[in-house]
A = this chain, B = another copy of it.
Amino acid sequence: MPDSGLVAALKKSEMFSSLDSAMLQKIASLARWRSFAAREMIFSEGEPCGGFYLLVEGAVKVYKLSGDGKEHVLHLVWPGETFAEAALFLGDTYPAYAETVRASRAVLFPSQPFLALLRAEPDVAIRLMGGMALWLRRLVGQVEVLALRGASSRLAGYLLGLQEGPAAVLPAPKAVVAAHLGMTPETLSRLFFRMEAQGVIRVRGRTISILDAPELRRIADGESDV
């Protein structure tokens, strides 16, 4: 019977969020708690991958060492996040060092039992992939929104400034407008396309019909994302 604190920790992580109770119990039964002091090495680059971790408390830095021994931090791991799972799935050695920054508590999923479970019960793997796919979709959307945020607000403000009656007519070819707004032509097309798909504008050559001026204003003010 796996301890219930462990099942609860798994449930709260993104990685295992799509699993049902029976699957969580199976995974929890092969996992084990590990505790680390502050500045303790968890694994080193080049070591065979003995498993991956879910951080429950504390903080961990994952880093590489350059030729002159300088640390290059690849990422910081926060509670609820897993690390080294790519190394496990790809059957590799650990590609970097992992060291705690603070005293930490983590769950270790040892490689061999974990892979054996996925091979014996492919439906666990398929559910895990479902959760990862949902998570990926959400992150792709977030990256796009964050990357376009400044650009979308500049474009919306520009269109409102050009607006005469129901439309704005671009005074120059789109590539020139893009340069004027400090973005690539691809970003401009993507923004036009997203605003059009959301029914905010309609683009016909250089004529941009403004279908939803209040929403365009909210985008310009950074209160709404495209």
Residues of A within 8 A of B (CB): 18, 59, 61, 71, 73, 75-76, 81, 85-86, 88-91, 101, 115, 118-119, 122-123, 125-130, 132-137, 139-143, 146-147, 193-194, 197-199
* Minimum distance in angstroms from A146 CB to a CB of chain B: 4
Residues of B within 8 A of A129 (CB): 85, 89, 125, 128-129, 132
Closest 6 CB pairs of A and B: A89-B130, A146-B146, A90-B130, A139-B139, A86-B133, A125-B125
A-B contact pairs, 25 of them (CB 8 A): A59-B193, A61-B197, A71-B199, A73-B197, A75-B140, A75-B141, A76-B197, A85-B129, A85-B133, A86-B134, A89-B129, A90-B127, A90-B130, A101-B197, A118-B122, A118-B125, A118-B126, A119-B122, A129-B129, A132-B132, A132-B136, A135-B136, A136-B136, A139-B140, A146-B146
B137/A86 in contact, CB under 8 A:
yes
Residues of B within 8 A of A193 (CB): 59, 76, 101
B122/A125 in contact, CB under 8 A:
yes
Residues of B within 8 A of A198 (CB): 73
Select one of B18, B61, B137 contacting A90, CB under 8 A.
B18
Give the residue name and chain of the B residue nearest to A121 (CB): B122
Give the docked Cα–Cα distance between A91 and B127 (Å): 9
Q: In the complex, which of the residues A133, A139, A147 has the most CB atoms of chain B within 10 Å of its own CB atom?
A: A133
B143/A139 in contact, CB under 8 A:
yes
Q: In the complex, which of the residues A122, A127, A139, A141 has the most CB atoms of chain B within 10 Å of its own CB atom?
A: A122
Give the docked Cα–Cα distance between A91 and B123 (Å): 10
Give the residue name and chain of the B residue nearest to A63 (CB): B197
Residues of B within 8 A of A115 (CB): 126
Give the docked Cα–Cα distance between A143 and B136 (Å): 12
